[in-house]
Structure 1
């Protein structure tokens, strides 16, 4: 699902960007273009969200509560910066995604580990919360297109949606891999297959582009989490035994390299119309 246009054509600001791009859509967006780079970094961020949370909680002995406080504070700080900038800045945007991935993981883990809420409960609860957020966003703004994220209110809806997709993805991934005993490697194959089906439905069956985007976005979270668990878990648990330290370092390095590349080349940014 590369270069997918998730715009709606119900308003001038949401006219598709290929072909007859409107002047309204040439305004600076606060999010990147949806390319292969977008999906690649997104999966890397979801993996880091899983392994970094485990690393801070267990390896550094922060504990789940302290880790949640620290990472939530960092996320709020970065989001303040993200809201204040007037355009998409790769370093700031993707740092926010990494942190919100960690926080989304911690929200789910706090409910299951500290409050003993079962995954069979947290998964549908987060699904309902996400659905309510989508409904409120659409009722207020008339679109769920990320190409329309050019105002503070739309950006608020966007990041709230992202948070719930990560929390939902964490619970759903743990439910499948651990509670249902599917295993990490089979979970990777399962979620990758679901994403392939969504892409096929979009390109071959003309599934609504906005719906296809958000479905794929949600499923990349448990996909990345399953990849992270598979790489970091001990071989006795069905993993490769790289540990949370090695896995987090590997994926953070990959994210940094891609973000630096995109910052230099601008391959994931809107190109404004020439007057």
Structure 2
């Protein structure tokens, strides 16, 4: 079975750069209608260029921490393409945290950034998918993919808040997979190791030793390019993964095979 998603409509969040942008471009090339969503409108326009508002590509700029923005994103997608079949929750933020600082609000910040938009958007999109399916009780109704991290399973004090938020996202994936299975909506996640996202690129500029640290703790000894994840995302979005739900697929260059507690999980 092929990984075809041609003719389907996908919403991709965190799509102005890095991983979300790469997945959106891959989906568009595969013939899907794609709504690229992000807070950074300028970057969206720069990256999409002449594709904006033409053919199978649209963009939406807004803060998905706001419930109204989520509703507006769904409305904009339906106005453009009449349906939604795939959701990729790719918006992520990484900030350092101090577990012993009682004034550190990083856990709250990252739950609001990395978890709650994925939950709320999944809820409204799932309701739309159920409505689209109507009385049809055969075939897939939709696919939701969450971009998570191996930080959910690794322990690194400076990334406690990020680890908590991604662990919560993993559990959200499992819970929603069970809840939506009767409606034939599949929910899976991809747990990422070190991928050259915009945030990691910024971190590496500030700390040149960080790259060496990551590579030394990764059996494949390198940082992945965003394009190395896109085929997995397309597989999960396609009917080829029709009997997969509630799964967390790991793409980390072998990082989780090693034991060091201090190894960064970015």
TM class by shorter chain equals 0.3 to 0.5
More strand by percentage: 2
- TM-score by length of structure 1 reads 0.32
- TM-score by length of structure 2 reads 0.33
Could you say which structure has the greater relative contact order, defined with CA pairs below 8 angstroms and 6 or more residues apart?
1
